[in-house]
Amino acid sequence: MSLLEAIVLGLVQGLTEFLPISSTAHLRIAPELFGWKDPGAAYSAVIQLGTVAAVLIYFRKDIVALTAAFFRGLARREPFGTLESRLAWFVLVGTLPIGVCGLAFKKLIENEFRSLYVIAGSLIILALILFVVERTASHRRTLADMTWKDGILIGLFQAVALIPGSSRSGTTMTGGLALGLKREDAARYSFLLSIPATTLAGVFELKHLLEATERPSALSLWVGTLVAFGSGMAAIAWLLSYLRSRTMLVFVVYRVALGVLLLVLLQMGKLSPRSGLENVDVPPEPGKQQVEKQVTD
């Protein structure tokens, strides 16, 4: 991987991680358009650590308050006594679905689900759901009104984001809006909920990436992660400001347009649905090579 690729992919990751347009989709599409090799789910997860750092720094006051309230509540045997302690528990509980599903469907997520057909379908379908929710939701509730049911349901929405093209921020914000949260509150909770899931995914995949025989250089990883951090900080600030006075409809239009464009290019043969993925060498099952040799002989 060249430094140019690392910079471009880091920029794409940072700008799209927090917008409801799917960073995974764009990290899969960008290399295809430029004729680069697909960096893979592991590389994508690792440079997500840059956007995790952006959330940690941007929301550092909220995170300190939630963490302190969590342990204070445990010490006083009143774990749900304050808004901050409840939100901390909601984030923990809301992370469980994506953690369980991520481990259960790891192979599909890293291979079959990265097809551009899957990504195009996810972009369009989730855009239509977001459109319906945006039009019908009340947009009146705040984080102070959240309940256990809300925390669990938004966590289930987050698990849907394991399908590339869905968008983690998009699914969680859609879940928040569907439950009546104000747009800015839904976005703020989405950012807080992203911290455990993306951190664990990045650390988990970093281990596998370092063990791989063929992997990007350490410099490419650092450059991609740092660029993702800088662009992620800018994306968070812009989105929170944008949602204070505007709707999510611009993202609906963008998702549908991108999904349709992908389908058209795929049908025209301009893009390959699994370019960079077809030639991945999968070691044969024990004994399979000998059986195949006997058959061919």
Q: What pTM was computed for the model?
A: 0.81
Supply the mean pLDDT for the chain: 85
How far is Cα 268 from Cα 255, in angstroms, rounded to an integer?
Answer: 20
How does pLDDT run across 181-196, given as a tens digit for each residue?
999 999 999 999 988 8
Q: 61: domain range? A: 3-296
User: Tens digit of pLDDT for each residue in 40-59?
Assistant: 767 777 888 898 899 999 99
87-114 pLDDT per residue, tens? 999 999 999 999 898 888 878 777 777 7
Q: Which two tokens stand for residue 136?
A: 């019908």
Instruction: Give the total number of structural domains in the chain.
Output: 1
Closest CA to 19 of 223, 234, 244, 263: 234
Q: Please tell me the predicted confidence (pLDDT) of residue 212.
A: 64
**181 DSSP β-pair partners:** 141
Q: For the beta carbon of residue 33, count every other beta carbon within 10 angstroms.
A: 10
